[in-house]
Structure formats: C-alpha cells, structure tokens
Structure 1
Amino acid sequence: MIVIQYVARFDGPKSEGLLRWGSESFSASSGPDGAGTIPVGDYDIEIDGVVENPADEYCAKDGNKRICFFIPVEPHAQFNRDGFGIHPNANAPELFGCLVLAAGAARSFWKKWKSTTKGNLPTVLKVKARETNSATTVKRQKQPTKRAGAPPNRKASRARRS
C-alpha cells in the first residue's frame, strides 16, 4: 500500500497545506464553499476512476497550456458527502472539499502520476491537521522560584540576629 498525505492547517471551512508523496511535496488547498474543506481521515484513491482531460472545472492554466485531471478519492468514514477528489485549481468560485493544486504543482504532480506504474501508484490518501510549529510558540523565561517561608537572603537574616 502506497500512501500520500495531505498535511494542512485547517481554518474553519478552508485548509491549506502540502500534499506529500514520497520525498516530494505539492502545495494544495481545500474548501471553503459548500460543506467546506475535505475532512481529516483516510481515503481510498480510486486509481481506476482517474480521468485525464475532464470538464473545465478540473483544469488549470499553466502559461499557455492547460493541465486537466481528476483523481477520485473515497472516504473510509461516512461524512454525508461524496465526490471528493484531487485536481488542478481552476479558480472556480466553489471548491466543495476536493484537494486542489495550483497549476505548477498540478503539472509536477500529474507528471509524477503519469510516470509511475499502476502497481506503484498511491492507493490511500491520509488527511491530517498540521501540528503547531514549536518555533512560533512564545518561550517563557524561567523565573526564580521563591520558597514559602524562606527568607530572601539568609546572610542578611543572620547578620540582623547577632
């Protein structure tokens, strides 16, 4: 089983992240219209249902050329939604939960897809929420701890007693 992952930051009905396949990553997004972004979870990639040169809403313009494909994915869980897929971003006003790739990323992804033998194509898509980046977490400076009942300066206390 070959797995690709969409690891993204989810912000309400929209998500933005990377579609990772092996050592390569492709910029992708999902949502915000309709029922919103693709839900977190596992999906089967329907490699026998892939369509090259489908309708215009699955095409993006890359310079003077168009890149068009639709790769259907089926969720393992029930979401009361269907029609999920991976395709180029046609800048359509409504993105109903598919993973869309900008033209350049779509061209690179599709080139890799077409050059991969059927037995080595990914069969599972894992959609995950990106964890918080620890580099952006504000670090707290360690404050000295005061012990209850202990004098702040023992030498000064002893000096006063003599």
Structure 2
Amino acid sequence: MQISYGGLAVITILWIYEGYRYSNTGYFSPLGWGFNVLFVLMWIWRVVFKYTYILREGEMEIISHGVGISRSFKVDLTKTESYTNKYIKSFFRKTKIRHYIHRYSSVDPNEQRLLVFTEGKDDKKLAGVIFKSSERFMRELRKQMPDKFLNLD
C-alpha cells in the first residue's frame, strides 16, 4: 500500500512541477504532460484494477475489472508446464519463458504466484502468468495438478 501512495506522491509532484514551469515560463511541454498522463494511467492500472481468479476443471480464468472496464484472460491448464506458490525473479530469469503476463494489483497483499504454460504454434514457446491469489486458490490448483507444482518456500 505504501508503494501506491508513494507512486501517487511522485506523480503529484511531477504535475505540480509541469504546472509551475508552464505558469512561470509560458512553455508548454507536450512530452512532460504526456508522461504525466501516462504515469497516471499506469498508476490506475496497477492500483485501481482488481482481479478475480476462477478455477475450473482444466482452465484458469483471470478477470480484470476497474473504472468500468472488464477483461478476461484464460489459461488452458492442460498446457501447463509448472506453477509455483512464490514468484522469485532471480530463479526464473534463466528459463526460456518468452514473456510474462502480469495479472495482479500492486496493493493486493497476497504473494506473487507464477504459472508457466506453452503457447503458439506447436506449443513450443513458454509464457508465464504472474498473479496474486489466496492460499485456498493454490490448494485447489494443487488438487488439479499436483505433479506440476514447484514449492519455492
């Protein structure tokens, strides 16, 4: 939660700086104001959006919702390579995971989790979805796929 307030404080200072600069010099910086708008949008995406995780037989669905927008992302669990109860960046850095999909709110107090799955033609490319879920959700996931669990505690 402190990170979200810290980020908002930095964004506020940048807006004040651009406003002060414009009022004193009359110079409008499209790049400065553009970055300010971008930072606000990024902050909203990381803090305001909430995520719902739904586990079905053979499928995990992640629904993101906030500010009137709702999107769904589904992972076919039959294509899962592995999943873990704790995402440790240094541990996964040397793997062949092509890209990571972030589906969590920064203010969610739960631990970051990682599910690695195959995608693309012939299912040869690895992708990872980083999410924050409860321990109960992880227990249910372990019931479906006990052999693919990596315990990183």
Q: Which has the higher helix share?
A: 2
Q: Shared fold by TM > 0.5?
A: no
Larger radius of gyration: 1
TM-score of the superposed pair, with normalisation by structure 2: 0.28
